[in-house]
Amino acid sequence: MNMEEMKKSSSESHPPPTSFSSLPYEIVVSCLARISRIHRPTLSLVSKSFRSLIASAELDATRSRMGKTEECLYVCLDLNKNKPNPDMIVPRWYALAPIPKRQKLLPVSDLFPYQHPESSTIVSIGSEMYLIGGLVDGKRSRRMLFLESHRWRSLPDMIVPRERPAAEVIDGKIYVIGGCSKHWGEVYDPKTQAWEPLSPTTLDLTTQKSVVPGRLVMGGKVYEVNGLSLSSKPDICLAEIESNMWREIHISGSELFWRENEYSLWCVVEGLEKLSPSSYFPTRPVSVANSGGRRVTVWWKTVEYRRQGRHYTKDCKTDIWCAEISFHFFQIYGITRLRGCIEWSKSVYTYDGCDCRSEFFLHSAVVTH
């Protein structure tokens, strides 16, 4: 049998494969529903019909019926120092791939297609994400945006404009505190889409976490309260070490510290020697609602200057690093100590250049899809 006869015989016995687009619509939806949402921006580039289907509510409804929900961490990084308007940032949002040992930040270019205000606050409720307040043209903003189908949509404005307010979701409502010189706070009900004033006596938010009496804890962050004004402690977050047992985690230089309460001394978190001493942490740790909220992710950057012969050049690259750390107590001679366990640590994003502000980590939110 010659070559042409063999090809003809092969084509007759094995018909050409069926294209994905020729499958019944229900099967296409069922297949796409099994794929992680983190890959949707890439899939939407296949064709217009794919883009329409991926943005449809039917696909999410199918995922829900199949029980295909997953947690996804969205982060916003400001990697550019040179901005024409200092009150605005060029948003660079990424989703952290949930695949173990292959965690990478995947750009979500179509998630936030326009600039949004600096000093805003992000909260999430299940599959929903909200952007609150901030600076617009140098002035505090009243607006609140809602993320729906990878697009921000406007919701009713707050009662007063706020800059970098504290925010927390309690019993399905969004409590917003501070960020202005008066009007303590307000609360938003997603069901009625209405804002109501909130006074310091309406809800004792300062006792939500007893580890910091007299201070405000919202969204895992700690705030000092002075009358109606709040001051954030960006280098401190809370971690749930054991059930309903919270401790403050503080970052300084290249080490993590912890303490029992505000009257205790800061102690080093032990067991983190595998984090390289050169891995300097210039940003704050971020509390993540993952594994029962008992983990903290730490973000930092390293800059490598390329070498040419015996000399370093101005050409460089920047690596964005992330480490996820869990904690547990242990005792030595009756003294309680805290040990950190590095669940994983790696460079999650690399780009050419080193024009990156030190406080490059702006927002994070865990969204359940």
Residue extents of the structural domains in the chain: 24-69
Across the strands, what pairs with 156?
A: none
Beta strands in 255-334 (DSSP E): 255-259, 267-268, 285-288, 295-308, 311-332
- Residue 152's pLDDT is 76
Q: Which two tokens stand for residue 70?
A: 């997953």
What is the C-alpha separation between 12 and 33, in angstroms, rounded? 34
Residue 323, classified by CB atoms within 10 Å of its CB into exposed (0-12), middle (13-18) or buried (19+), is buried
Taking CA atoms, 69 is separated from 33, 72, 126, 342, in Å, by: 10, 10, 10, 26
Give the residue carrying structure tokens 């949402």: 37
Three-class SS state of 89: strand
Which helix (H) or strand (E) is 82 found in, with range?
Answer: none
Q: Are 297 and 237 in contact (CB under 8 A)?
A: no
- Residue 330's pLDDT is 92
Q: Are 72 and 129 in contact (CB under 8 A)?
A: no
Q: Which two tokens stand for residue 303?
A: 């800059």
pTM exceeding 0.85: no
Q: How many residues does the chain have?
A: 369
Q: Give the angle 105-108-114 at the CA atoms, nearest 5°.
A: 130
Half-sphere exposure of 338 (CA within 13 A, CB side): 23
Q: What are phi and psi of 53, to 5 degrees?
A: -70, -40
Three-class SS state of 228: coil
Give the residue carrying structure tokens 């390289």: 276
Q: What is the pLDDT along the chain (369 residues), one digit of tens a residue?
A: 444 554 455 455 555 555 666 778 888 888 888 877 667 767 777 777 777 777 777 777 787 788 777 777 888 887 765 554 444 445 577 888 766 667 888 877 555 545 566 788 888 888 788 999 988 888 899 999 887 666 678 899 999 999 888 898 888 999 998 888 778 889 999 999 999 998 776 655 544 454 556 677 777 777 777 766 677 776 778 888 888 788 888 887 778 899 887 788 999 999 887 775 555 565 666 655 444 467 888 888 888 877 766 666 667 888 888 888 999 999 988 889 999 998 888 888 888 877 666 677 878 888 777
Q: In terms of Cα–Cα distance, which of 136, 122, 147 is closest to 288? A: 122
Across the strands, what pairs with 106?
A: 95
Q: Which residues contact 357 (CB under 8 A, 6 or more apart)?
A: 78, 79, 81
Give the residue carrying structure tokens 């617009």: 136
Q: Which residues contact 102 (CB under 8 A, 6 or more apart)?
A: none
What is the C-alpha separation between 98 and 42, in angstroms, rounded? 16
Q: Which two tokens stand for residue 235?
A: 């280098």
- Residue 187's pLDDT is 93
Q: What are phi and psi of 326, to 5 degrees?
A: -110, 170
